[in-house]
């Protein structure tokens, strides 16, 4: 990952990687008519836009889920 991908944006505190994951998740949910998006599918679409290992992806996803709870 690019070091800049880890710097939170001042507008909402999300990093570039977090924003890409959330936007991709939203787009996939719309394509699937609101149904749940499998994690593997989400990861496959995210890595098309961002060089991210599975462990990094899972760590970010875990953090995001923790924020929503």
**For residues 31 and 28, what is the distance between their CA atoms, to the nearest angstrom?**
5
The first and second tokens of residue 9, run together, are 């944006």
Query: In this predicted structure, what is the pLDDT of residue 65?
Result: 86
Domain boundaries, the chain: 14-68
Q: How many CB atoms lie within 10 A of CB 21?
A: 24
- At 10-37, the pLDDT tens digits run 888 899 999 999 999 999 999 999 899 9
- Euclidean distance between the first and the last CA atom of the chain, given in angstroms as a whole number: 27
What does the pLDDT read at residue 9? 84
Contact call for residues 64 and 39 (beta carbons, < 8 A): no
pLDDT digits (tens, 9 = 90+) for 30-69: 999 989 999 999 999 999 999 999 999 999 999 998 865 5
């Amino acid at each position: 990952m690019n070091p800049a991908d880890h710097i939170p944006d001042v507008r909402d505190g999300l990093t570039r990687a977090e924003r890409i994951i959330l936007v991709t998740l939203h787009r996939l949910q719309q394509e699937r008519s609101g149904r749940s998006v499998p994690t593997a599918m989400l990861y496959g679409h995210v890595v098309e836009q961002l060089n991210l290992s599975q462990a990094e992806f899972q760590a970010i996803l875990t953090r995001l889920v923790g924020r929503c709870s």
